[in-house]
Amino acid sequence: MPVEIALHQWETNTRPCDFSLRLETPRGTVFADFDELGDECVTLRRISFDGYGCCETEGRCSKMSSTDATTLINSMREEDVNEQSILDILCRYFAENSSIIWSDALDEHQLKVRGPDVR
């Protein structure tokens, strides 16, 4: 897997979110901060990319599909997020919101859906 995913805990309260993921890509580090809006409901609050800075979504990102959100939340709670299935979920979600998230940063960090996974 070219991208490694880990849970991230911010040491200060300057980036409030319900949970954060650190993605180590071939081009650097990406931090994706999410909010849980209840059971089976997750949305991206902000995402920051090495070389680009922090992209605040200002609540404009869509909600993740309930199936993907449940899988992500369960994996996060089990602290087992470094899986290809989680990367696929994140790439699919980022691609769905690429009009809000910086598309060029997603491309450079290889975080867009490729091949048959596109829905």
Q: Tell whether 73 is covered by a domain.
A: yes
Q: Tell whether 115 is covered by a domain.
A: no
Q: Tell whether 83 is covered by a domain.
A: yes
Q: Which strand ranges, in their side-by-side order, compose the sheet holding 4-8?
A: 4-8, 19-25, 28-36, 42-49, 53-56
| Cβ proximity of 21 and 8 under 8 Å | yes
Q: What is the torsional sign of CA 51, 23, 88, 3?
A: positive
Q: Tell whether 45 is covered by a domain.
A: yes
Q: Tell whether 13 is covered by a domain.
A: yes
Query: What's the burial of 9, exposed, middle or buried (CB within 10 Å: 0-12/13-18/19+)?
Result: exposed
pLDDT digits (tens, 9 = 90+) for 21-55: 999 999 999 999 999 987 789 999 999 999 999 99
The structural domain count of the chain equals 1
Q: Tell whether 22 is covered by a domain.
A: yes
Q: Give the domain extent around 44.
A: 4-109
Prediction pTM value: 0.89
Cβ within 8 Å of residue 97, ≥6 positions away: 44, 57, 61, 62
The two structure tokens encoding residue 106: 């997603």
pLDDT digits (tens, 9 = 90+) for 76-114: 989 899 999 999 999 999 999 999 999 999 999 999 875
Q: How many CA atoms lie within 13 A of 111 on its CB side?
A: 32
Q: Tell whether 47 is covered by a domain.
A: yes
CA-nearest of 20, 22, 31 to 4 is: 22
